[in-house]
Amino acid sequence: MERICLFPGTFDPITKGHVDVIERAVSLFDKLVIGIGTNSSKQPMWSVEQRVAWIKEIFKNDPRVVVTGYSGLTVDYCKQINAHYILRGIRYISDFEYEKAIADMNRMLAPQIETIFLTCSPLYSTISSTLVRDVIRNGGDARMFLPDEVKLG
């Protein structure tokens, strides 16, 4: 059985922290699907197409990394792509509390899908897409938090 893992998120934009987690996780699976989910409570700054393009460019040399957009329940999308694992990155204990609640709900909905948590490298633990968007909206230079492939106008 092929070990397929879904790393769901909005990746708006993808940060160096995301890339760190992806690079460390990819060797654990046969395929790592980066799933850009539509979240009804979030208004993205960039289109799904732009975010997919950035991530494809970052991982263009690694055929194990696939990028897609999806909507609906994450566990339903896992079933569609035959993923038995969900990857979540953790920066702080508060992230864990939030992510564990989601993982518990997903486990009740689909017990065959396991959630895996990877902690972020300390170098990137303060970086979040939300904070990066705030820097950008207020005219700051966010390039130090972003992979070189993410070009901001």
Active site residues: 18, 42, 91, 129
Contacts of 30 (CB under 8 A, 6+ apart): 2, 3, 4, 64
Would you say 38 and 126 are in contact if contact means Cβ atoms under 8 Å apart? no
Distance CA(56)–CA(51), nearest Å, equals 9
Give me the helices (H) in the chain, please.
16-25, 48-58, 74-81, 93-109, 129-137
